[in-house]
Amino acid sequence: MELQIKSLDNLLKNALQPGEQLKSYSTKNLTSAGDNYGSIMLSITLNIHNTSTKENYEKHLVGKMPLVNEFFRNIFKVDLTFKKEALIYRDVLPFFNKFYKNRTSTELDMFPKYLGGQLNYDKSTDRIHNDSIIFLEDLKIKGYKTLDRFKGFDENTAKIVIQALATLHATTIAIKLDDIWLFHKLFLSNLEYVSAFDGGIEINNMINISLKHATANPKCKAVESKIKEVLTKGLQNLNSAIKCKEPFGTFSHNDLWLNNVMVKNDGTNIKCKLLDFQLSSYDSVGKDLIFFLFTSLESTVLKNSFDDLIRYYFDEFTQTLNILNVDTRKFTWNAFLDEVKDSAISTELTHLFAMLLPIFSTPDKSESIDVLEEGTLPNEDDVSDEHKQRAVDIALIYIEKGWI
C-alpha cells in the first residue's frame, strides 16, 4: 500500500525551485528485511508543474521515516536515533561542509543533500511521531548505487570510502580545536552515544554464532578462551559508552559498512556518499576504520591489503589535518596504531561478531520491515558461507596482529 505523507507540499521548500508547484506524488517502499531494520525508506516521485515555463516534469527524492513496528522501535531506540539523524542532516553536516569550504575553498561532496522534512515528537516523552520524515536527494538518479554486500569493495573503491572517512574524522577534529564551545553545542549535543547492544535483542546469540564459526578453524580454536574474554569485555564496553582517548575523538559513524555507502563509478572516476547516521557518536577514529575494513572489503583485499589500507587512512587523515591548519605533532603514526589496536580490542571484535549475522544474512526474506515481528531477526538459519569465512578471516587477522 502506498504511504501517504501529510502536507507534503508544505514540507518541500528546500526541494522545489521558484515557480515549481507540486501537482501530485507517488511513493514506493525501498526497505525490505535484511537491508535496514532501523527505518522506513521511501522513493518519492513528485509530479511538478512549472508556472514560469509551463512545463510538466518529475523530480525524485528519498524519504526516511521512523518505524511504526513497536518491537523494532524499541530494539533500535527509534525515538533517539531518528531524532539524532534528522538533526545531523539538518544542522551538523551543513556546518561541517561550510567549515571545510571556508578553510580550503573546496566543496565537499560526500553526503546526500538534505532537502527538508519535519521532526515531530512528544516533548513530555520524546516519542517521535510517525509522520516525522527526512527528505534527501535521490542518489540513484545521479548514478550512485549500493554494491553487493556479499562481494565487498575492491581496493580502489575502498580507498575512495576511506578517504571520505578520513575527511569526516579530520575535519571534525579541526572544528573541535578551532572552537570547543561551538563544538560542544552543535556536535556533541547531537552525537550522544546510543547503544544498539542492550535491550531485547538477542545480542549474545548473534555473537556466539560468529564465535562458533570462527573457532571451526583450528588456529582460532586454540585461542578460543582469549577470544571469549575479548568479546565479553567488548560487550560491557559497548553498553557503557566508554570515553575515547584524546586527541583521536571525532564524529564516529558507528555503523560504516557497505550498505551505508553509495558509490558512483563512471569508468574514470569513483565517488562515494556516506549515509545513515542513526548511531553516530563522539568516539575514536579507530572504531569506524576497523569496522569498515572487516565488514566491507573483498575477501582477497582484506587478506592482502589490510595493513596498507590502515596506512592509507592515516596518510589521508594527517594530510587533511594539515590542509585544515591543524598541528599534527600529537597525531603520530605510533599513537595512531595504538588507537587502532585499542579500538579493535575494546569494542570492535564484539561489534563485528554481532553484526556479521545481519550483514551477511541470506537475502531470502521479502517481507516489508513494518510487518516483521519478534523472532524474525536473523538467526542461525540465516548464516551464509560468507559469514562463516569472514568470522574466520577476522579472528586470524586479530591473532596475527597480536590483538588476541
H/E element holding 171? helix 155-178
* pLDDT at residue number 374: 55
Q: Does 89 reside within a domain?
A: yes
Residue 3 forms part of a structural domain: no
What are the pLDDT digits (tens) for 261-299? 999 999 999 999 999 999 999 999 999 999 999 999 999
Does the residue 13 lie in any domain? Answer: no
Q: What is the mean pLDDT of residues 234-255?
A: 93
Assess if residue 61 is contained within a domain: no
pLDDT at position 364 over 70: no
Whichever domain contains 367, its CATH number is: 3.90.1200
Q: What is the pLDDT of residue 200?
A: 46
Percent of the chain clearing pLDDT 90 (strictly above): 80
The verdict on residue 103 lying in a domain is: yes
What are the tens digits of pLDDT across the range 148-172? Answer: 999 999 999 999 999 999 999 999 9
Instruction: Count up the domains in the chain and report the number.
Output: 1
Of 42-51, 86-95, 271-280, 355-364, which range is least confident?
355-364
On whether residue 204 sits in a domain, the answer given is: yes
Q: Which pLDDT tens digit goes with each residue over 91-101?
A: 999 999 999 99
Interval 177-201: pLDDT, tens:
999 999 999 999 999 999 888 754 5
Q: What is the distance between the alpha carbons of residues 273 and 109, in angstroms, rounded to a whole number? A: 7
On the question of pLDDT at 176 being above 70, the answer is yes
Range of the domain at 156: 69-401
Question: Rounded mean pLDDT of 102-121?
Answer: 96
Mean of the per-residue pLDDT values for the chain? 92
For residue 368, pLDDT over 60 is answered with: no
**115: closest CA among 134, 131, 128?**
134
> What is the Cα gyration radius of the chain?
21
9 falls within a domain: no
Of 76 and 313, which is predicted with more confidence? 313
Distance CA 129, CA 83 (A): 10
Residue 321, domain member (yes or no): yes
Residue 366 has pLDDT above 50, yes or no: no
CA distance 65 to 307: 39
d(CA 370, CA 90): 26
Kindly tell me if the per-residue pLDDT of 369 is higher than 60.
no
More confident residue, 245 or 372: 245
